[in-house]
Structure 1
């Protein structure tokens, strides 16, 4: 609505009829203007002939004091001189009303603008002109988009820097090891130094061990099972160079010079490995022995931290202790070492580029093997995707030489169970003996897979370590031994004492990786 608070009112046009006192307005607001037209005001078309307004019927209808004297016409320009409605006080009141209405209009528009979800809304300025103004909601959206763009650009720049740093680290490791080691980054962005283990035939490695050490491990023929994944051959696998450690990005890393990650039970350790991304899995027992056999084919059994920060059988061989306050051999304190800080004799192949700390330091959970009520369960090859409930049972039982405790006897059944069926606890009787002297009952049928998995020792077997078992309940294996085991530790040690919930300061793990 256009308002007029002046002395003259000229809003719109009029239609007039000769000799008719009725005047019709077009676009006028005679009755509801901020200063309404009143009886006694003067009407004219030409400022020569004047008529008195004797009635204001509506915004578009007034009545004159006599019939219109001019010619009939439509959309005529006109004027009404405020006589009665144009007093000073009335005009002031009208102007105040106009200002108030304009402010109210602005407030209404402002309220709409503030609450609008549209990109823009109209606001009327002090001259009555309407302008499209961006709404606060749109300003916020634009600011958020700008911030998001800035974050994306920052992240891209950071990722580019990180990628260059990661590439430089990987290339340095590969160059230093002549390609024997590399760095694999997982889904959390954690670095993992890995050793490539090539596929081999069982008979070839067996022949190399026989030629070097004079012992026939009776490993059979064909591709070793660690290199058959769910029935399909693979070129090899990436074995973690070090025991897993904590990571700044969450999850775990495989790097040198840090404390191994412990206090994780079997299921947590396995999840930490699989959460690293496709192809990642907890090192399997059969993979452990692929590494052990290949190392023995080229060298000697590795030593490790088996005597409080030093090797029990070569005490001059030491590593960096996690605690700086104690010396190697100090039996009054726990003594795990930083990963990979021992000499090359502590790696699987006797070089700086091998797999470190498989003997001693901390025990390691291994996957794809368990002892259930004294019977071995394991996949037939390397298959971390097979649900545990589907692992085949094998005719290999861990019997006991005594009714309550004794040595392990491989048997075709259990004759002496040293605890109650279904009891996963640590009570009742235990069995242990040197692994390579494990006895076999006459009814036991020797099993190639059990030899390949390091469960059934061949005559004259070399691997050091003890065999521990509780032949009741469910038991998950740990390998390698820890920092105080002395001669009980070794590549051959197999510990079936623990249930899957056990988590302690002396049990860690390793994440392995299939090539993509």
Structure 2
């Protein structure tokens, strides 16, 4: 099948599948087989189609496991934390090629659709987990791995950062929708994470995406390590016992332990500190590369590998926002109004899990059950 014919076939099947009250039932095995074959052919095998327990497909990008040394200038040979599920190392993980749409409350990665927006963290989490075994909300650790990979390769993806166009490259635009959002995958190839049609679209701009496994609590950095975000009993709620703080030695500890790493903010941006008081409830921001550390503070590799602190002071895009009071969860990439602050390294840690507004979206991931080693 020629590429042009394959694209037309995909769009036709999508229209058929999304028609009716229960779109999952309109897919037949032959249609799924043809759809998957077309996607894999067009991407050279790096993209595929994975169905949930309703039999409804999502276009996914395969990401092979890598080491910290592949992503950092001075990284160790340890496998990056993004590639663990329930404490077991995974050979690969699949991430949505597109920001997800909602169909009957579930998230799906489909091209040229209006992505779901205006939802809170809990809604995004349920939209992914409700799809069946192996599905979950994108972990922050995976976003970190992808961002660090783009930096090592010298390419930062562009995106919809100014109501349908890229703020810095204004000739680049997507197919505009209401509220400044563009259709999934409608931008140029520079809006994919690797600059190619087989890449992940809109990690920069369009919508800020909720990610799993990271939060601030009164400025203290807390993570859910080792892929335990995939555990059935890991609610990621405020009182979830899987949350861990980080010490300057890179050890994981109970939340609130003396000496845990924290962010504080002021007029000069964001400061990384160890223990002590973060001061008043305040909001601060700076370019990611301009985050500073208090004098003499040891920076563990874990913070570099999770893009929580810059390994170097230059060579990054995107800004970092933090709030030093309350529980705040990550919104990533910068939305369609982020202007020059957008970027794959953009992370906003200023809003609670209950917050929803027109700049929030999400994407799902899939880990094959029993695929670890």
Structure 1 residue corresponding to 2:265, chosen from 400, 415, 428: 400
Query: What corresponds to 1:383 in structure 2?
Result: 228
Aligned length: 326
Aligned equivalent of 1:498, options 335, 351, 369: 351
What is the SS of the residue equivalent to 1:384?
A: helix
- Pick 1 or 2: higher relative contact order, CA cutoff 8 A, min separation 6: 2
- Of 159, 164, 167, the match for 1:309: 164
Output the TM-score relative to the length of structure 2: 0.83
Deviations 1:441-466 (A, max 9, x none): 11532021111111111223422111
Deviation string, structure 1 residues 220-275 (Cα, Å, up to 9, x no partner): 3221111122332110100110101122x541211111111012111111011111
CA root-mean-square deviation: 1.9
Say if 1:160 and 1:407 are closer, same or farther in 2 by CA, change over 3 A. closer
Deviations 1:124-157 (A, max 9, x none): xxxxxxxxxxxxxxxxxxxxxxxxxxxxxxxxxx
Match of 1:291 among 146, 167, 180: 146
| Aligned counterpart in structure 2 of residue 413 of structure 1, from 250, 275, 280 | 275
State how far apart, in whole Å, the 2-side matches of 1:414 and 1:336 are. Answer: 42
Asked if residue 455 in structure 1 is aligned to residue 308 in structure 2, the reply is yes
CA contact (8 A) 2:27 2:55 kept: no
CA distance in 1, matches of 2:228, 2:193: 23
Aligned counterpart, 1:432: 285
Native 8 Å contact 1:299 1:349 kept in 2: no
* Aligned positions of 1:18-417 closer than 5 A: 162-206=28-72, 216=73, 218-247=74-103, 249-323=104-178, 334-386=179-231, 387=234, 388=236, 389=240, 390-394=242-246, 395-401=260-266, 407-417=269-279
**Deviation string, structure 1 residues 317-359 (Cα, Å, up to 9, x no partner):** 1110014xxxxxxxxxx31111111111111111000001000
Partner of 1:490, secondary structure, is coil
TM-score (norm 1): 0.61
Consecutive unaligned residues in structure 2, runs of 5 or more: 1-23, 247-259
Distance 2:224 2:130 in 1: 22
Checking the alignment, whether the CA contact within 8 Å between 1:374 and 1:414 is kept in structure 2 is no
Query: Do the aligned residues in 2 keep the contact of 1:400 with 1:418 (CA within 8 Å)?
Result: no
Unaligned runs of 5+ in 1: 1-157, 207-215, 324-333, 420-428
Which has the higher Rg, Structure 1 or Structure 2? 1
Is the Cα contact below 8 Å between 2:134 and 2:367 reproduced in 1? Answer: yes
Distance 1:253 1:501 in 2: 22
1 CA distance for matches of 2:167 and 2:105? 35
Show the counterpart of 1:475.
328
Where has structure 1 moved over 6 Å in runs of 4 or more?
Answer: 158-161
Match of 2:21 in 1: none
Instruction: Call closer, same or farther: CA 1:163–1:223 in 2, change over 3 Å.
Output: same
Distance 1:372 1:175 in 2: 45
Give distance in 1, aligned partners of 2:318 and 2:70: 25
